[in-house]
A = this chain, B = another copy of it.
Amino acid sequence: MEKILIIASVVGVLALLFAAYKASFVTKQEAGNDRMKEIASYIEDGAMAFLSREYKALVIFVIALTIVLAIGLNVTTAICFVVGAIFSVLAGYVGMKVATKANVRTANAAMDSGLGKALDIAFSGGAVMGMVVVGLGIIGISISYYFIGDPTIITGFSLGASSIALFARVGGGIYTKAADVGADLVGKVEAGIPEDDPRNPAVIADNVGDNVGDVAGMGADLFESYVGALLSVITLGVSAYGEDGVSYGIAIAAVGIVATIIAAFFVKGDKNPQKALNNGEYVSALVTVIVAGFLSNKIFGSFKPFIPVIVGIAVGLIISKITEYYTSEQYKPVQRIAAESETGASTNIISGLSVGMMSTVWPIVVIAIGIIVAYLGAGGKVEAIDGLYGIALAAVGMLSTSAMTIAVDAYGPIADNAGGIAEMCELPEEVREITDSLDAVGNTTAAIGKGFAIGSAALTALALFVSYIEVTGLTGIDVSKPDVIAGAFIGGMLPFAFSALTMSAVGKAASAMIDEVRRQFREIPGIMEGKATPEYAKCVDISTSAALREMVVPGLIAVVVPVLVGLILGVEALGGLQAGALITGVLMAIFMSNAGGAWDNAKKYIEGGAHGGKGSEAHKAAVTGDTVGDPFKDTSGPSLNILIKLITVVSLVFAPLFLQYGGNFF
């Protein structure tokens, strides 16, 4: 096993080297004319300013929790926690830094060299984020397990990753939507200037938002999933098969990284960016599957532990496809929302909500079947622990090619930003056409990426949940006990409260932004004629402050409630809480993400000419739906991924405490 851990760390370093190679490729490119460099620097500065203020705020949180961990548990766990947090920050920082360099270079390549080169730069920018995430993830877990050897303690690493992820996703989600709504409502609707117009004071904040929400937030989300899945495969692997169990789980992750590096060379093409990205995903998945089968037979002399790996990859793929069905304008659900827009905003809203709720059915059925097949496939009928290990393997299988998923996902906002820069710098029409074609693909990959993020969060949280049972030594979590069902009710309620808080946070932040943009239009002379530069920094500051302020309460709830329930009602009730939160969290995340995606594309479908096209009554109704969908799909929905994982990680980390002091009621 030691050998595998060392190899995994080496593969992690390889990933970081590949990231460095890709990053230097990006930065070596020409950044365009002075105007482009200026605009790009605004975006980069805004994004970095957000990150540094966010991280400063987090220092307090991290220090406080470190002290709690050191006193309540032990110093090693506390150190793991700090390292996990730093790794997550590092991944976010590097990923965003490169993404904000790639955007302007993508625009410039679109101008100078055409689609193929632009695609290469945008994808390379995303690949840096992907590689840094998996590289740091596998290094962190492998090395800490190598030296510490006790999975209970390295949960601290996972908690560090989760804490940063929470704030990155929630803060990033609030930031991006406040800026988006402010830019759209006042700029586009009230002032009547086009998207990405440099006269709009919120335009920089809007572009920054794409980076902090969709790049840094998403990266932190998947970093958390990745680390959590590895942690649970170690915890359950030891119990099920000893060292072999750990080796196999870690090996699959390492294989996935190598497969992604190979696959990255297939993402090329002058014509069809969708096909190029698909190539990357197919190649990485295929290589991983083949090697995983081979390894299963070599390590265990059996293909049984290979089954959950396939299940994990298949579940990820199927959920992504279902997401596409419910959110793409090519299919009935979105078209129905568009049709219902003809009778006004209320019917648009009702049908969007209905589509979102209906879209939970098949992903849940797939997850349910996946759980059972992963369990039985790994041999759960004979030995229960083999089955639980199977669930962790499914999570690792799904996440093995995370680097590719993140790369493709982060490609979206880079292409989007490139388009924004092209517009703001008034580059030729053909340039905008190229960036538009890159961006269009990015919209599809974003929707699919959201489905993948939810699916992986569900499987990771589930794997952590079963690890919790293993760690606490519980014989089961019996929901027919009153404390457990009470815990399950409270856990089930948390995603509702969390969504309510994040939605109203976006509302508050957006109205502050609206007021500021209106003020600038009113008070700065010559702004509408393009003679005066708007005060971009003020809008960036409003989004930043609002995001930081509004993320505190939901963040605290996610940490404090599980701890309170664990202490007051005990370990089994806390198991109930996790189960409740997991179920409603996954359901609400699917519901909100898909409803938001469907509303967005229903609007685009109408803008494409259906039901009267732009400016029609149907279009107005669809814009209302899209605005409701914005916090759904970009703030509340994705934040729930973090919530369900964080709750299970917090429970796992503090389990020893609850075992000792918790639940003297029953």
Contacts and interface: CB of A to CB of B under 8 A. Distances in A.
A353 B503 contact: yes
Interface in A483-535: 483, 485-490, 492-493, 496-497, 499-501, 503-504, 506-507, 511, 514
Contact of A349 (B185, B347, B628, B666): B628
Interface string A356-395: 1110110011011101101110001100000100010000
Contact of A586 (B375, B489, B625): B489
Contacts of A368: 486-487, 489-490
A580 interface: yes
B586 A583 contact: no
Contacts of A511: 343, 347
B344 A624 contact: yes
**What is the count of identical protomers in the complex?**
2
A504 B353 CA distance: 9
A365 B577 CA distance: 12
A480 B492 contact: no
Interface in A577-619: 579-580, 583-584, 586-587, 591
Contact of A345 (B356, B465, B497, B624): B624
A208 B361 CA distance: 34
A451 interface: no
Given A347-B507, A349-B628, A350-B507, A500 B358 contact: yes
Given A364-B489, A490-B365, A500-B358, A482 B387 contact: yes
A332 interface: no
Given A497-B357, A507-B350, A482 B372 contact: yes
Range, interface on chain A: 35 or more
Contact of A483 (B340, B360, B372, B584): B372
A46 interface: no
Interface in A137-160: none
A351 interface: yes
B583 A665 contact: no
A63 to B, nearest CB: 30
A350 B340 CA distance: 19
Nearest to A189: B344
Contacts of A485: 371, 462, 579
B583 A489 contact: yes
Contacts of A665: 372, 376
B480 A371 contact: no
- Count chain B CB atoms within 10 A of each CB in A349, A462, A625, A666 and give the residue with the most: A349
A469 B480 contact: yes
Interface in A81-104: none
A349 to B, nearest CB: 5
A371 B497 contact: no
Given A496-B587, A511-B343, A628-B350, A476 B481 contact: yes
Contacts of A343: 185, 511, 514
A281 B304 CA distance: 63
Contact of A478 (B477, B500, B501, B624): B477
A486 B372 contact: yes
Contact of A476 (B350, B358, B476): B476
Given A480-B575, A482-B387, A624-B344, A364 B492 contact: yes
A239 interface: no
B493 A360 contact: yes
8 contacts: A185-B343, A345-B624, A347-B511, A349-B628, A358-B496, A365-B490, A381-B666, A488-B579
Name the 9 nearest CB pairs between A and B, nearest first: A476-B478, A346-B627, A357-B500, A368-B486, A375-B482, A358-B500, A492-B583, A364-B493, A357-B496
Given A350-B507, A478-B478, 12 more contacts: A340-B507, A346-B624, A346-B625, A351-B504, A354-B500, A368-B487, A391-B482, A462-B485, A477-B480, A492-B584, A584-B584, A584-B587
